[in-house]
Amino acid sequence: MVSSPILLDFQSSTPCLKEVVEEMSSYWMENFANPSSKGNLSGLYASASLEVLRTKIQENLNLHNKKIIFTSGATESNNLALFGFARNFQQRTGRYGNIITLSTEHKAVLEPLRQLKKEGFSITVLNPESDGLILEKNLLNALRDDTFLISIMLANNEIGVVQPIEKIFKICQKNNIKFHTDAAQCPGYLPIKNFDSLANMITLSSHKIYGPKGIGLLIMDEDIQLNPIFYGGGQEFGYRSGTLSLPLIAGFSKAIEVAIKNQERNTMQLAKLRNNLMDGLLKKNSKILINGSIINRLPHNLNLTVLDVNGSKFHKYIKYQITCSSGSACSNGEVSHVLTSMGRSLKEAESSVRLSIGLSTTAEEIENSIDVITETINKLRK
Ligand SMILES: Cc1ncc(COP(=O)(O)O)c(C=O)c1O
């Protein structure tokens, strides 16, 4: 038995790193001016600080040909990319074209696309294979003459699978289609040398990578045109009105810097713990299915289906000892659309769990989690 719950839910959110909090500190009470108030000295100073932070982020992500737009997080970045680009396309061309996505995307992509469908756009939602990955040939078959945008995430928040987005981006470039990718779960967890090469538009979120909540990025090609979704003072090149939060931006910038610097070391540490968790659970229990490709996967994600147990009892029993998720953090307790899209039955999806490991997770916590889950399975299968 363990006394306080073991935290294995780091894909929902992460705590701020100490150096992130330190970096933010001077912007709360000292350099607090509005960076848009360029008519006075403090505003000018805040504006200069903003541009220094923007450049730092561009350098750390190795961006050369991209603009970055600060948003409130990945949900807003996805909304801005999808609504902004689709509505602008419609205005420029007078046509409602086709957008392709994947059924396992985060709701922050699927829901804006559902809304765009109501506005008149055609939306194609492809299913992945049983390992969670999209097949290139299925994407090629889905292309239409009027396809103008593809949105496919880099790594899945529930099952951790990493989509072959290099190939997808090439297909887009060949067919004159713009490509958006939600990479909220990725910086610091994948060896990305050059974010420039991922897509035309890239979504990032700070609180998934040990930065503060309430800040995200939409990275986009210089020549992309978007219709704003907020109107007002015209900040962020007119694409996202609203006063920017320098403390959050400073914290996000530090989180990116540290994530990129420590990516190799952290990835090894996380993958080792994840693999021990997986191996231990598979060794001590029968009838456990791993969801999603184990090869093309984030290092800190494990998602499994426990067969022959009652799903709600399984979650009820383990939740006092392990903090984890049954689906994404934003699913409101619904059965995972990701797992059912990959072919799991409703019952299987209900008895599935996402275990996501953090930088503070210890080997002892992994051993204890294996014991807790094994004891729970044995109790339920009796
Ligand atoms: C892949 C993905 N996209 C979007 C989001 C939403 O992010 P945010 O909380 O920054 O709005 C999340 C968070 O769960 C996510 O994992």
43/47 Cα distance (integer angstroms):
6
Range list of H helices, the chain: 18-29, 41-60, 74-93, 107-119, 136-142, 165-174, 246-261, 263-284, 311-318, 337-341, 346-350, 363-381
Residue 206 Cβ < 6 Å to ligand 1:
no
Confidence of residue 326 (pLDDT cuts 50, 70, 90): confident
Residue 330 Cβ < 6 Å to ligand 1:
yes
Instruction: List the strands of the sheet with 98-102, edge to edge.
Output: 66-71, 216-221, 201-205, 178-182, 147-151, 98-102, 122-126
Average pLDDT estimate for 332-341: 85
Which atom of ligand 1 has the smallest separation from the CA of 329? 14
Mutational pocket test of ligand 1: of 71, 80, 300, 330, the residue with most ligand atoms within 8 Å of the beta carbon: 330
Q: How much is the pLDDT for 193? A: 86
Confidence of residue 330 (pLDDT cuts 50, 70, 90): very low
143 three-class SS:
coil
Ligand 1 centroid to 287 CA: how many Å? 31
With left for phi above 0 and alpha for psi between -120 and 50, is residue 49 left, alpha or beta?
alpha
Residues marked active site are found at: 330
pLDDT tens digits for 98-130? 999 999 999 999 999 999 999 999 999 999 999
Residue 1 has pLDDT above 90, yes or no: no
Residue of the nearest CA to atom 16 in ligand 1? Answer: 157
Average pLDDT estimate for 287-307: 97
Which two structure tokens, joined as six digits, stand for 161? 């699978």
CATH code linked to domain 18-261: 3.40.640.10
Ligand 1 centroid to 162 CA: how many Å? 15
Between CA 180 and CA 311, with CA 359 as vertex, the angle to 5 degrees is: 75
Which atom of ligand 1 has the smallest separation from the CA of 105? 1
pLDDT tens digits for 43-67? 999 999 999 999 999 999 999 989 9
78 three-class SS:
helix
44/73 Cα distance (integer angstroms):
26
Mutational pocket test of ligand 1: of 80, 185, 203, the residue with most ligand atoms within 8 Å of the beta carbon: 185
pLDDT tens digits for 176-217? 999 999 999 999 999 998 899 999 999 999 999 999 999 999
What does pLDDT average to over the chain?
96
pLDDT tens digits for 61-85? 999 989 999 999 999 999 999 999 9
9 three-class SS:
strand
Which two structure tokens, joined as six digits, stand for 284? 């001590």
Residues 6+ apart with CB under 8 A from 261: none
Which atom of ligand 1 has the smallest separation from the CA of 12? 14
Domain ranges of the chain: 6-15+263-381, 18-261
CATH 3.40.190.10 is held by the domain 6-15+263-381: no
